[in-house]
A and B are shown apart, each in its own frame.
Chain A
Amino acid sequence: MTSPAKAEGSGPTVALEPDLEPKTEPVQAEKKLEGRSPGQLMWQRFKRDRTGVICAWIVILYFVVALAAPLLTKISGTDPYTLYGQDPTYQDKPVLDDFGLPLGYFGGLSGSHWFGVEPQYGRDVFAMLVYGMRTSLYMALGVTVLMMGTGIVLGLIGGYFGGRTDYWIGRVTDFFLAFPQQLFFIAFMPVVTAFFVDPREETPTYFRAVAMLIVLWVLGWMGMARLIRSTVLTLREREFVEAAKVSGASPGRIVRKEILPNVVTPILVQFTYQLPSTILTIAFLSFAGVGFVEPTPDWGKLFANGAKYTEQDPAFIFFPGIALVIFVLAFNLLGDSVRDAFDPKSGR
C-alpha cells in the first residue's frame, strides 16, 4: 500500500497530480500496454531525461579515468612521483625558474606535461590529478556510502520507534556531533600507528586509507542520521503508516517499504552534497597529518595546494579546480535526475 496517490488501473497514474511536466514528443507508435514495476518505471523515466544520462556518463567517465590512471600516465609518459624540476636526470629540460615557478605558458603546459607542472618540485600535474582522482574518488565513495548507511539506519530506527530508543540514539548522536574531531585526528593516528605498525617500518598507504575511512565514518554519520530522523518523525504520523501497522506488517517491513521510499529526497540531496565535500575533507585530514602523506597524490590536496598559488600560478589550480567543478556539477545534476525519476509524486 503505497502513498495515497494510488495508481488507478494498469496505465500510468491518471493525472490527479497537477504538476506533471509536459512532454514534447507525443507518442507515435502504438504501444502495447504492459505492467511495469516501479523500478522499470523509474528506469524509463530516467532514460528519457537526457541531461541526467549525460551526467551519469560523465560520473562513470571520472571513475573509469581514475581506475585507468596507470594506463593514462603511460601514454603521457609521466608519473606523479618524479620531481621533474629538481631531479638531476632531468637537468637538461628545466621546467622551473629560480623561484620554483613553472616556466613557459599557462603553468608549464607542454608536450610532455599536458597539464603543466607543480611549483617548487615540478611534479607532473596531469599524473598527479589522475592518480589523485583514484585515491580521492574511491575513498570518498567508500566513506560516503558508509556514512550514509549508518546515518540512514540509525535515523530510521530513531525516528520510527521513538521513545526510549530514540532518546538513546539521540544522545549517542549528540556525543559524536560534539566530539572534538580535530583533536581526535591528531591523537588517534599516532596511537593507532604505534599499535599496529612496527616503529621501524613505513606505515603502508592502505593502513592510512583504512584508518581514515574509520575516522571519517565514525565522525561523519550524525548529520545524515538527524536529517532522516526528522523526516521520519513526521512520516511516522501519516495514516498510511498506521494503515500498514494495522495490516500486520512487521516494523522492519514498514520501515523498508513505507518509510524509506519517502525519505529518498533528503538522502539523495545529502548524498550529492556529501561526496564532493568528503573529497575535500580527506585533503584536510592530510594537512592535519592523519590522512595521506605527501608523495601519495590526493585530488583534494592538489586543489588545496593550488589555492595558495592562485595569484602567482593560476594554472596550477585551474585543472584540478575545473575537474572538481565539473564533477560536482555532474554529480548534483545526476542526483536531481535520479531523485525525480525515483519520486513519482513530485515530478518537476
Chain B
Amino acid sequence: MTTLTKTEDAPAPTGPESFLSVRDLKVQFSTEDGIVKAVDGLSFDVERGKTLGIVGESGSGKSVTNLTILGLHNPRSSTVDGEIVLDGKELVTATERELEQLRGNKMAMIFQDPLTALSPFYTVGRQLSEPYMKHRGASKKEARDRAIQMLEKVGIPQPKVRFDDYPHQFSGGMRQRAMIAMALMCDPDLLIADEPTTALDVTVQAQILDLLKDLQQEFGSAIIFITHDLGVISHMADDLLVMYAGRAVERGSVREVLHDPRHPYTWGLLSSMPRLDSDIDQQLTPIPGSPPSLLNPPSGCPFHPRCAFRDEVPGTLCTDVRPPLGEGRSTACHLTPEQKQTIFIDKIQPRLR
C-alpha cells in the first residue's frame, strides 16, 4: 500500500459557519471482492443561495457523496465517517428519525434517471403531495393545490389534469420536471441535483437549468449540482469542485477553475470537451486510460497513471506521496505553481482557444 503522508487534518472552518460543511468524508462499501473506498476524505462547503458544481468522471464518487449527505446508505453494508454539518446539525451521527424529518423538508434530491425514480404504482400528484403532507402537516386539499402550483411552476401544461396521471403517462422531460417539482414541494434549503438533465435533450435541459436558477433566487436555497458536463456547470454553478477517485483534486470559483485550471486532470477534462467556437479540425485530446478501480486505488496521486506531466516532478513523489488539497482555491498536485502556470499557458490554453 502507498505510504500516506500525514493525512491532512481537516482544515479549520474559516469565516462564518457555512450553510453545509463536509469535513474529511470517508464512505466505504464492502463487496465480496473487497472494500470499495467510494469517497476517500472529501471536504467542501456550500453557502446558502450559492450553487456548488461537482464535476468528475463516472465512478469518482459524486453520487455516493450526496446519497451520504441524505443518509440513504444501508448501515449494514456501508461505513461512513467524517463530519457533515447542515445548518448547524450534524448528519452522520443523526438518528434515522431526525434524518427523516430533514429529508424532503430541509434537504431534497433530484435523481438522474427520471424513468425509474418515480413509483409506477401511484399517481404523480400523490407522490408529490406525500412529503408536503408529512412535513407541513397539510391536508390532502392543501397538498393538492400546492402540488398543482409546483407542477405549473416547473412548466408542465394543464397541471390539474396531469396531477392524476401516472408516471408512465409522462414523457422523459415531463417526468424530470415532476421530479424537480417533487423535490421543491417543501422549499428545501439544500437541493442536490444528481445529473438532472443528462437524460434530457438540450432544449429541455436549458429550461430546467433556468428553472433551478429562478427557484434558487426565489427560495434562496443552496444547490449542489452534480454533472460530468462542463458546459452545464459553467452556466449553473458559482463554485466548482473537481473530483477524481473519491477525492477532490481541484476547488475554486467557476471562473478560476474553467479559465485558470491548475490540475492536469482538469486540463484533460477541458481539452476533451468540444467547443462551439473552435474550428472543425481542431483535435480533441481525451485523457488516456480509464478511471481507477476504487478497490485498490493507485499509489500516491491517484491520477498519476494517466498524468502526462508526472515526469516533470522530481523523484517518485507522484507515485509515492498523495498530494494534499489546500483550503479555498487549491489543487492537489505536486507540480509547483510556476510549473502549473507555464504548462497551462504553453500547452493547454492554445488548445482551448
Contact = CB atoms under 8 A, between A and B. Distances in A.
A288 to B, nearest CB: 44
Interface in A1-53: 4, 8-16, 18-23, 26-27, 30-31, 33, 44-45, 48
Contacts of A15: 29, 31, 36, 38, 64, 77-78
A30 B291 CA distance: 19
Interface residues of A, number: 26
A202 to B, nearest CB: 56
B29 A20 contact: yes
Given A4-B113, A33-B293, A33-B295, A12 B31 contact: yes
12 contacts: A12-B31, A12-B33, A12-B36, A12-B295, A15-B36, A16-B67, A20-B30, A20-B77, A22-B77, A23-B30, A27-B33, A44-B32
A294 interface: no
A35 B73 CA distance: 27
Contacts of A18: 72-74, 77-78
B50 to A, nearest CB: 27
B296 interface: yes
B294 interface: yes
Q: Which of A16, A22, A239 has the most CB of B within 10 A?
A: A22
Given A8-B58, A9-B59, A31 B34 contact: yes
Given A20-B77, A21-B76, A239-B116, A9 B31 contact: no
A23 B32 contact: yes
Interface string A242-256: 000000000000000
A14 B116 contact: no
A311 interface: no
A237 interface: yes
Nearest to B113: A4
A14 B77 contact: no
Interface string A44-69: 11001000000000000000000000
Interface in B186-203: none
A8 B112 CA distance: 15
B192 to A, nearest CB: 15
Contacts of A26: 30, 34-35
B32 A48 contact: yes
A16 B62 CA distance: 11
Interface in B33-51: 33-36, 38
Given A10-B290, A20-B29, A44-B32, 20 more contacts: A9-B293, A10-B293, A11-B293, A11-B294, A12-B32, A14-B64, A15-B77, A16-B64, A18-B77, A19-B74, A20-B74, A22-B30, A22-B76, A22-B77, A26-B30, A27-B35, A31-B34, A48-B32, A237-B120, A237-B168
A174 B72 CA distance: 45
B115 interface: yes
A237 B116 CA distance: 12
Contacts of A22: 30, 76-77
Contacts of B295: 11-12, 27, 31, 33
Interface of B: 29-36, 38, 58-59, 63-64, 67, 72-74, 76-78, 113, 115-116, 120, 168, 290-291, 293-296
B295 to A, nearest CB: 5
A13 B59 CA distance: 10
A9 B34 contact: no
A26 B63 CA distance: 25
Contacts of B38: 14-15
Nearest to A49: B32
B167 to A, nearest CB: 11
A19 B290 CA distance: 27
Nearest to A45: B32
Contacts of A11: 33, 36, 293-295
Q: Which of A4, A11, A44, A48 has the most CB of B within 10 A?
A: A11
A269 B168 CA distance: 30
Nearest to A33: B293
A21 B293 contact: no
Contacts of A10: 290, 293
A15 B78 CA distance: 9
Nearest to B291: A9
A23 B31 contact: yes
Contacts of B290: 9-10
Contacts of B30: 20, 22-23, 26
Contacts of B59: 8-9, 14
Nearest to A8: B59
Contact of A21 (B63, B72, B77, B113): B77
Nearest to A27: B34
Contacts of A33: 293, 295
Contacts of B296: 30-31
Which 9 A/B pairs are nearest by Cβ-Cβ distance? A15-B29, A18-B74, A27-B34, A20-B77, A11-B293, A22-B30, A239-B115, A8-B59, A23-B30
Contacts of B32: 12, 23, 44-45, 48
Contacts of A30: 296
A237 B67 CA distance: 28
Interface in A223-249: 237, 239
A239 B115 CA distance: 7
A35 to B, nearest CB: 12
Contacts of A8: 58-59
A302 B290 CA distance: 63
A68 B41 CA distance: 61
Q: Which of A14, A22, A45 has the most CB of B within 10 A?
A: A14
A4 B116 contact: yes
Nearest to B116: A4
Contacts of B115: 239
Contacts of B74: 18-20
